[in-house]
Amino acid sequence: MMMLDVQGINVYYGAIHALKGISFHLNEGEIVALIGANGAGKSTSLSAISRVISTRSGAIFYKGESIINTPPQDIVTRRIIQVPEGRRIFPRMSVVENLEMGAYIHNDRGKIEKNMEAMFARFPRLRERRKQLGGTLSGGEQQMLAIARGLMAEPELLLLDEPSMGLAPIIVEQIFDIIQDINQHGTSILLVEQNAQMALSIANRGYVLETGRVVLEGSADDLLDNPHVQEAYLGGGG
Amino acid sequence: MNNLHIQKSAKNGLVFAVIIIFLALIGFTVTAASMIQKVFGVEVSVGTMPKYSALIAFLAFIGLWNGWRAAKQTEEHPLQAGHAILAGLASGFVTGLFALGYSLIVGTLQSNGVNVRVYLSSLSPESIIYFLFGQSPLSGGFIQLSLSTVSAAFGALLVIFWDRSQHQFLIWKQKLSAWGNASWPAKLRRNVFVGYIAMGVVLLLLVILPRTWGSYWNYVMGTVGIYVLLGIGLNIIVGYSGQLVLGYVAFFAIGAYSFALVTAPEPHNLNWNFWIAILVAVVASAISGVLIGLPILRLRGDYLAIVTLGFGEIIRILIKSDLLKEITLGPRGIRNIAGPTLFGKSFSSDSDFMYLIILAVLLSIFLARRWQESRIGRAWLAISQDETVAQATGVDTYKYKLLALAIGAAFAGLGGAIFASRNQFTGPEDHVLMVSINVLCLVIVGGMGSIPGVILGAFALKGLPEILRELESYRLLVFGALLVLMMIVRPEGLWPATRPKYEENSPPPVTVEGGSR
Ligand SMILES: Nc1ncnc2c1ncn2[C@@H]1O[C@H](COP(=O)(O)OP(=O)(O)O)[C@@H](O)[C@H]1O
Ligand SMILES: [Mg+2]
């Protein structure tokens, strides 16, 4: 079943035409990768879905309903959660407080406690550092906290923006394992990555973005074999 | 000691030359000398200059500081005495040379009958002669030169002593803190009753003092109290929700004027009850906060600051303008504003007002605390740290920013109403940009987001200048100096905000010796 359907959206930053009629979709249960170079419009696409930035034209449907006029806080209550790029945790809040912020839309104290316990089980490092301020965590821990904070809202669709950015390969490996695991527990994932190899290795399908346009789409395996993708995103030889 | 060191020292000397010449040009040397003389209990009679020894003390202090900095700049470990003194001498000499040059120029102008006062209002003939120690420009300049050089050398010596005694000092400090943790002060601090007793004493003082310390102190402390009120309000906007609003005085003005208009006999002759009028002022300010916030709160950072800055001025100009003259009486202001009544009796002596202000401050502290610790406070905290992410976690950022602005404005309205009522007058000049800057300064100086910080900041920035009357005309300079000092000494503010619910432990220290904390 089609969960998210983005149809020909246009986004401008002032005079800059960042998204030039982009269309893509995601079926329930899938991991879909958006790959592309810096500045291609990947983050903008996610922000358009979470409605943090507005689109000038085009349509976005979530579970068959248009969400183009839905304000960002209501997007969150519909369980579409964006984990912004660059490990944007709240630096002057403790780990626990960051997680509580993730559950801001929920009021059920017991459920919040239960979810937090689940996060600590999934990310033991965070339990060790629960009282530490977010800003004092290491890069990998911050990324885990950002993802955990996103999960606290119990997302049905998770928008992940470059979770591997600036992290050591071994930590990237861990994080991608976690992403796969989250997906297997029933959360659909739209994954934005510059690291095309990693992204396509766990995705079902993928889209290649270049300067605000979708230039290629297909199953992850097809994209991995595509000469253009190999040339431009997988370092030539593949 | 090589060329680089000499160069560094000369640069340091240059900085101090600029400082001294600047202070001399604005006449601060005379003020500082008078203050020093007063500290030693000798009044300066009106129209005369303080004693030369006071000037020497002031210049020597700057010289010591000069030498201190110069010697520190060598960055040697351990510091070599010869190098340090040489650095101090060089720096002091450079400063002295400039002071000499300044003396020659200003002294010659003065003796040739040029009236420099035309250009620099505080550079009176007396102050120039005073700066030259009553000598000719040349000998006065040489006194400056030698004073600067010698005191800087002593400053350098101080660094050497400091350097040598540091080790000893550290041992002492450790002993002291070990004693402090083991003995009664620490136990006292841990005892919950002590908190209550301290609170009781403060409350008792708040009840007794307004009756006993006279109208002057009631006036000074009342002003401080009103600024605490304003500080707490602005702190909600700037400290909690992180929106840099510069035109805060607008809400103060709206509060003062709406209070004035409904209570004063002129121009509308409404003569409303004090307490109802206060309510009107608070509500009017809060509504204006919402109305202004609606269009501009989508702006961020600098834009918001500039737009709100403009708004503050627009309100003042509107009040003053012919356009609203019928309503606000224009530049003349509104007179005979009513004081409070309680059960039909007048409640407007200076101590009554002090009680009123204390009550208002306590109420605002209580409310601010409540809000800060609530869900709203959490949303503000998130917005102040990262607005986009706050939005991404489902916080309606626009709504909460608007709420912060409305609450902050309401506090300003309360402050404005009390202010107008206490003075029985309010005019456009009560609501100048400087009020906004003062309040912002005290929030920053006290420690952004912290209520005790706001109180300390208000005392430091509104109480102190009132007590040190001399400094009145140098308030801006003192502001500047204080702000710079703060950035260096306590970058987080006098009493930084902490949220005691969670410890702020950074990663454990790498080495722990002795195992005690
Ligand atoms: N806040 C902004 N203001 C102006 N231009 C922006 C802004 N954010 C992104 N852009 C521009 O939009 C384009 C797409 O950016 P982005 O979506 O961040 O790309 P990606 O995430 O793929 O690196 C780029 O040309 C970028 O310069
Ligand atoms: Mg991006």
Closest CA to A32 of A212, A179, A146: A179
Q: What is the mean pLDDT of residues B53-76?
A: 88
Identify the pLDDT of residue B99.
94
pLDDT band at B184 (very low <50, low <70, confident <90, very high): low
Closest CA to B391 of A61, A50, A199, A12: A50
Buried b or exposed e, range B360-382, using 16+ CB within 10 angstroms? bbeebbeebeebbeeebbbbbbb
C-beta of A44 in contact with ligand 1 (< 6 A): yes
Phi then psi for B112, rounded to 5 degrees? -85, 5
Domain membership flag for residue A117 = yes
CA separation for the pair B12, B35 (Å, rounded): 27
Q: What is the mean pLDDT of residues B303-322?
A: 86
Task: Provide the pairing of β-strand A57-62 with A2-13.
Answer: antiparallel
Identify the pLDDT of residue B474.
66
- Contact between A91 and A142 (Cβ < 8 Å): no
Quote the minimal CA–CA distance from A230 to chain B in Å: 34
- Contact between A188 and A158 (Cβ < 8 Å): yes
**Quick count: other Cβ atoms within 10 Å of Cβ A68?**
16
Where is B112: in which H helix or E strand?
A: none
pLDDT band at B499 (very low <50, low <70, confident <90, very high): low
**ipTM of model:** 0.90
Closest CA to B14 of B126, B74, B120, B90: B90
Q: What is the mean pLDDT of residues B343-370?
A: 89
Q: Which residues in chain B have Cβ-Cβ distances shorter than 8 Å to A158?
A: none
pLDDT band at B501 (very low <50, low <70, confident <90, very high): very low
pLDDT band at B517 (very low <50, low <70, confident <90, very high): very low
Identify the pLDDT of residue B118.
76
Q: Which residue has the higher pLDDT, B189 or B19?
A: B19
CA separation for the pair A177, A72 (Å, rounded): 29
**Tokens 């030693």 found at:** B40
C-beta of A40 in contact with ligand 1 (< 6 A): yes
pLDDT of A203-217, one tens digit each?
A: 999 999 999 999 999
Q: Which residue has the higher pLDDT, B485 or B515?
A: B485
Residue ID of nearest Cα to ligand 1 atom 16: A41
- Contact between A190 and A204 (Cβ < 8 Å): no
Identify the pLDDT of residue B503.
39
CA separation for the pair B383, B240 (Å, rounded): 9
Distances (CA, A) of B179 to A35, B187, B293, B369: 62, 12, 53, 35
Using the beta-carbon criterion (under 8 Å), do B393 and A50 form an inter-chain contact?
no
Query: What sign does the CA torsion over A79, A83, A84, A89 have?
Result: positive
- Say yes or no to pLDDT of B248 above 80: yes
Where is B237: in which H helix or E strand?
A: none
Q: Which residue has the higher pLDDT, B391 or B46?
A: B391
Provide the residue type at A120 as one letter. F
Residues in chain B: 517
Q: What is the DSSP string of B380-414?
A: HHHHHH-HHHHHHTT--HHHHHHHHHHHHHHHHHH
CA separation for the pair A31, B414 (Å, rounded): 56
CA separation for the pair A72, A46 (Å, rounded): 12
Using the beta-carbon criterion (under 8 Å), do A101 and B382 form an inter-chain contact?
yes
Instruction: Give the closest of B382, B385, B389 to A84, CB-based.
Output: B389
- Say yes or no to pLDDT of B301 above 50: yes
Q: What is the DSSP string of A175-191?
A: HHHHHHHHHHTT-EEEE
Instruction: Give contacts of A 3-32 with B, CB under 8 A.
Output: none
Q: Which residue has the higher pLDDT, B359 or B450?
A: B359
Distances (CA, A) of A217 to A11, A195, A232, B68: 20, 16, 15, 68
Tell how far CA A115 is from the center of its chain: 20
Task: Provide the pairing of β-strand A157-161 with A80-83.
Answer: parallel
- Cα of B372 from ligand 2 centre, angstroms: 34
Identify the pLDDT of residue B498.
62
pLDDT band at B198 (very low <50, low <70, confident <90, very high): confident
CA separation for the pair A117, B353 (Å, rounded): 54
Mapped onto helix, strand or coil, the DSSP state of residue B424 is: coil
- Cα of B395 from ligand 2 centre, angstroms: 22
Which atom of ligand 1 approaches the CA of A45 most closely?
17
Q: Which residue has the higher pLDDT, B428 or B413?
A: B413
Q: What is the mean pLDDT of residues B422-432?
A: 90
Identify the pLDDT of residue B393.
92
Domain membership flag for residue A238 = no
CA separation for the pair B444, B433 (Å, rounded): 17
CA separation for the pair B189, B192 (Å, rounded): 8
Q: Which residues in chain B have Cβ-Cβ distances shorter than 8 Å to A50?
A: 392
Whole-structure pTM value: 0.74
Closest CA to A187 of A222, A236, A153: A153
Phi then psi for B496, rounded to 5 degrees? -65, 155
- Say yes or no to pLDDT of B468 above 70: no
Using the beta-carbon criterion (under 8 Å), do B394 and A136 form an inter-chain contact?
no
Identify the pLDDT of residue B504.
40
CA separation for the pair B105, B112 (Å, rounded): 11
- Contact between A182 and A83 (Cβ < 8 Å): no
Query: What is the count of structural domains for chain A?
Result: 1
Domain membership flag for residue A162 = yes
Mapped onto helix, strand or coil, the DSSP state of residue B95 is: helix
Q: What is the mean pLDDT of residues B417-424?
A: 94
Partners of A33 in the beta sheet? A191, A206
pLDDT of A144-165, one tens digit each?
A: 999 999 999 999 999 999 999 8
Identify the pLDDT of residue B187.
63
Identify the pLDDT of residue B489.
64
Two tokens at A2?
């089609």
Domain membership flag for residue A24 = yes
- With the most atoms of ligand 1 within 8 angstroms of its CB, the residue from A6, A19, A20, A43 to mutate is A43
- Say yes or no to pLDDT of B508 above 60: no
pLDDT band at B191 (very low <50, low <70, confident <90, very high): low
- Say yes or no to pLDDT of B364 above 90: yes
C-beta of A84 in contact with ligand 1 (< 6 A): no
Q: What is the mean pLDDT of residues B411-434?
A: 93
Q: What is the DSSP string of chain A?
A: -EEEEEEEEEEEETTEEEEEEEEEEEETT-EEEEEE-TTSSHHHHHHHHTTSS--SEEEEEETTEE-TT--HHHHHHTTEEEE-TTT---TTSBHHHHHHHHTTT---HHHHHHHHHHHHHH-HHHHHTTTSBGGGS-HHHHHHHHHHHHHTT--SEEEEE-TTTT--HHHHHHHHHHHHHHHHTT-EEEEEES-HHHHHHH-SEEEEEETTEEEEEEEHHHHHH-HHHHHHHTTTT-
Identify the pLDDT of residue A226.
93
Partners of A11 in the beta sheet? A19
- Say yes or no to pLDDT of B491 above 80: no
Q: Which residue has the higher pLDDT, B347 or B410?
A: B410
Quote the minimal CA–CA distance from B388 to chain A in Å: 8
Q: What is the mean pLDDT of each run of 10 residues along chain A (238 residues)?
A: 94 94 96 95 96 94 96 94 92 93 90 93 92 92 94 95 91 93 95 93 96 95 93 71
CA separation for the pair B179, B380 (Å, rounded): 41
Mean pLDDT of chain B: 84
Domain residues for A187? 2-233
Domain membership flag for residue A22 = yes
| CATH code (residue A209) | 3.40.50.300
- Say yes or no to pLDDT of B121 above 80: no
CA separation for the pair B497, B493 (Å, rounded): 8
Strands, sheet with A57-62, edge to edge from the N-terminal-most edge strand = A16-27, A2-13, A57-62, A65-66
Percent share of chain B, pLDDT over 70: 87
Identify the pLDDT of residue B183.
61
Q: Is B385 on the interface with A (CB under 8 A)?
A: yes
Instruction: Give the closest of B393, B396, B506 to A101, CB-based.
Output: B393
Identify the pLDDT of residue B208.
85
Q: DSSP assignment, residue B188?
A: H
Q: Which of B393, B396, B502 to mutate to test the interface with A (most CBs of A within 10 A)?
A: B393
Distances (CA, A) of A28 to A50, A51, A157: 17, 20, 9
Q: Which of B373, B389, B396, B448 to mutate to test the interface with A (most CBs of A within 10 A)?
A: B389
Q: Which residues in chain A have Cβ-Cβ distances shorter than 8 Å to B391?
A: 52, 72-73
pLDDT of A114-133, one tens digit each?
A: 999 999 999 999 999 999 99
Identify the pLDDT of residue B515.
34
